[in-house]
Structure 1
Amino acid sequence: MSFFDDIYNKIFKGKDEGPAELIHETLERTNRESESFQLWLGSNKQTELLTEIYNAYHLKKKGIVTKLNVHLLETKYSNGFAVTYGNEISCDEFRNLFDYLKEKTLEFEYRLAQNDRRIIDRESFEEVIEKWYLKPRGLELEENKTNQLYGNILIEYVMIDRKPSYIKLMANIYQDRLYSEALPFEVFIEKLFDRNL
């Protein structure tokens, strides 16, 4: 089947088979997006947004809702948060936040294991999911265990009809005797937002 036939079938056929994945590609930034990110780093906009998310995260843990909509994701083996897009944040700034979370995590002995973009036809809307998936570098500890640090880190940026919807970050830990006990997620949060280093 040709590339054209594949796309044609995904668009015009198989609607009853559920969502059709139109595109699945490696996530790479354009020159304009990279320049925007570099300009944003260290700017007042970056500092303000990171501070707002950090404060909203901690207030949400106390049950206090803030203007910035932050969701907590807490289970036995996964911890994380999601930030819902709001009009007070530009589209570029929201994408820069997504990229920042990846770049900052790389500083903590992580490596990028997967980066992709999926465009999915959900019949009534188009969903774009950009993903950074990071794993610990696999450092050996003295007890012949692999250091899992904070676990595997999944960062997703979801757009609906090409408009920002939310960014989610999850730390998923291993429960296996071959791995060290995961470091506390709260320590990761402090480092991620440049607090108490």
Structure 2
Amino acid sequence: MASFIDDLLGKLFPKKSTSIKHKENFTQTEEAIADVTAWAQSTEGKNLLNLVKKNYHFKTSGMNASPEVHILKSPYANGFAVSFDRPFDAKSFSKLFFAFGQRMLDLGYQKISLDRKFEEINEAVKTTEKQYFKPPLSNADFNEKIDQLFGNVSIEKISVNDQPSYLKVLVMVYSDSLYKDARPFEDFMDDLFEN
């Protein structure tokens, strides 16, 4: 009988969770966008982009280099993650995150969202900044299969207690019969790092 009353009281007066969970949309200023564009074309930006590309190819060959790149592979999603390490600093790591987003726009994608999520996990605060892109459907001829390009693209920058941890780029393909097959992921990598 006591457990019935405890269950009833638990439903009427649930214990309050003290963990933090908050999600918000945000935008970049025109000045911030121009700053990222200039950084991506600068010597520093090109060198860091080329380093990530080189380390990705090293990883596909079974070698590790710093900053370490991790390969993400499944039948419907492919991608990579870059660990925060030298020669990156917090500022250049953030610029890399936004530079990847600008590159998606250059490839004809539409930005669907730019958001930030805060979560308390084991007395630490995890912050996830995320950009989400979809192929353009506005110019699709619906009498033919829709070109999904490479699929949907998610770009995330994860920080723990305001310290960058890693950056993840994930490409998810549509497996719907309305869509053409996605272009190969290796072509995506070539296009993403083209400068």
User: TM-score, length-normalised on structure 1?
Assistant: 0.84
Once the 2 structures are TM-superposed, how far is the Cα of residue 40 of structure 1 from its aligned partner?
A: 1.4
User: Could you say which residue in structure 2 is the equivalent of 1:190?
Assistant: 190
| The structure with more radius of gyration | 2
User: Could you say which residue in structure 1 is the equivalent of 2:92?
Assistant: 93
Percent identity, please.
Answer: 30
Once the 2 structures are TM-superposed, how far is the Cα of residue 77 of structure 1 from its aligned partner?
A: 0.6
Once the 2 structures are TM-superposed, how far is the Cα of residue 109 of structure 1 from its aligned partner?
A: 1.6
Once the 2 structures are TM-superposed, how far is the Cα of residue 121 of structure 1 from its aligned partner?
A: 1.2
Q: Is the Cα contact below 8 Å between 1:158 and 1:167 reproduced in 2?
A: yes
Q: Is the Cα contact below 8 Å between 1:70 and 1:83 reproduced in 2?
A: yes
CA distance in 2, matches of 1:187, 1:141: 24
Once the 2 structures are TM-superposed, how far is the Cα of residue 39 of structure 1 from its aligned partner?
A: 4.0
1:39-188 map, 5 Å: 39-138=38-137, 139-140=139-140, 144-188=144-188
User: Could you say which residue in structure 2 is the equivalent of 1:4?
Assistant: none
Once the 2 structures are TM-superposed, how far is the Cα of residue 20 of structure 1 from its aligned partner?
A: 3.2
Identify which range, 185-194 or 25-34, moves more after superposition.
25-34
Once the 2 structures are TM-superposed, how far is the Cα of residue 140 of structure 1 from its aligned partner?
A: 2.5
**Pairwise CA RMSD:** 2.0
Q: 1:14 aligns with which of 8, 13, 17?
A: 17
CA distance in 1, matches of 2:153, 2:56: 18
Deviation per residue, 1:94-122 (Å, 9 max, x gap): 00000011100111121011111011111
Residue type of the alignment partner of 1:194: E
Once the 2 structures are TM-superposed, how far is the Cα of residue 33 of structure 1 from its aligned partner?
A: 4.5
SS at match of 2:41: coil
Identify which range, 138-147 or 82-91, moves more after superposition.
138-147
CA distance in 1, matches of 2:31, 2:91: 10
CA distance in 1, matches of 2:141, 2:187: 20
Q: Is the Cα contact below 8 Å between 1:36 and 1:92 reproduced in 2?
A: no
Q: Is the Cα contact below 8 Å between 2:59 and 2:70 reproduced in 1?
A: yes
Gaps of 5+ in 2: 1-14
Deviation per residue, 1:74-93 (Å, 9 max, x gap): 11110000000014211110
Deviation per residue, 1:8-53 (Å, 9 max, x gap): xxxx9414xxx530x3111223577546424413111111101111
